[in-house]
Amino acid sequence: MKVNELIAQARETVAGSTPRYIDINVAAENARQGIEDMAFSRVGQAMEQAILGAQSVLKSTCEEYIEALYVDDDIKIAIRSDKAYLEQGYAPREMMEDLLSSPKAKISADGDRYVKVPIGGKPTKDIRTVIGKKASDLFTKGSGKASNTTLADMTKSMQNLSNQAPPVLDGPSKLEFRVVSEKQDQSWKYKPEQPWVHPGFSGVNQLDAINAQLEADMKQDAMYLVKAEVDKMRR
């Protein structure tokens, strides 16, 4: 929901209880800056909630999830399409065919395809840096709309969240290699608990709820801000 829509809806809600001698359009326009400040303050809080939710659910992919979050033009928390699977989840899948069709696959002396698959050895995840970048993104999104005070408060809050996060979410693990080959018994192919079958992931599944609460809060706050301007204009 864009700021203009928030203002229009608040104006319509308050108009019914506004005396005729008060110009509701003037009151709504007087509330514009307050509503813009409120909206970006609320969206900053929603972004923090999304970051904390990711930290509580994800491990090695937490940094990727947070980095992919952004505020869309409707003032909602969204996630880039290439990382949406972390939010939405995915079903179990058999990986053997994909691994053997990889460009890294080789042909054995017996004519069978095989590939060495690296396990572990993931780099450390600098969670503080990526949260700090979200603070910068929010500031840029709000520049020219929200007041400097609101932007400064929002940035400070995000920086505090960054300082509270563990500097390293996952340390590097020992790198090992496993071999997958066409020779292997495939009787386990559709059993998710067996090797080379990814068990799937239920997803973080939080953005719908976060955005629903964000919209409800912004609508209510916008109404109160317009009503406050109307009250100032009463005789």
Q: Select from 233, 211, 229 the least CA-distant residue to 32.
A: 229
Domain for residue 112, yes or no?
no
Question: Per DSSP, what are the bridge partners of residue 235?
Answer: none
pLDDT of the residue at 121: 56
pLDDT of the residue at 15: 95
pLDDT of the residue at 165: 81
In degrees, rounded to 5, the angle at the alpha carbon of residue 157 between the alpha carbons of residues 156 and 158 is 90
Domain for residue 21, yes or no?
yes
CB-CB contact of 131 with 51 (8 Å): yes
On the CB side of 213, how many CA atoms lie within 13 Å of its CA? Answer: 11
Overall domain count for the chain: 1
pLDDT of the residue at 120: 62
DSSP codes, 117-138: EEES-PPP--HHHHHHHHHHHH
Domain for residue 9, yes or no?
yes
Domain for residue 16, yes or no?
yes
Structural domain span for residue 206: 3-90+144-168+201-232
pLDDT of the residue at 34: 97
Helix (H/G/I), strand (E/B), else coil: 228? helix
Under 8 Å CB-to-CB from 217, ≥6 apart: which residues? 42
State CA 192 to chain mean position distance.
29
Domain for residue 97, yes or no?
no
CB-CB contact of 198 with 205 (8 Å): no
Q: Select from 33, 34, 44 the least CA-distant residue to 76.
A: 44
Domain for residue 105, yes or no?
no
pLDDT tens for the chain, 235 residues: list them.
Answer: 689 999 999 999 999 999 999 999 999 999 999 999 999 999 999 999 999 999 999 988 899 999 999 999 899 999 999 999 999 998 877 777 777 787 888 888 777 888 877 776 565 568 888 999 999 999 998 898 899 999 999 989 998 998 888 766 555 556 777 777 766 655 545 454 456 776 778 899 999 999 999 999 999 999 999 999 999 999 8
d(C-alpha 107, C-alpha 101), whole Å: 11
d(C-alpha 91, C-alpha 74), whole Å: 30
Domain for residue 104, yes or no?
no
**Placement of tokens 């929200």 in the chain:** 146
Sheet containing 106-107: order of strands: 106-107, 113-119, 176-181
pTM of the model: 0.79
Q: DSSP code of 214?
A: H
d(C-alpha 158, C-alpha 69), whole Å: 14
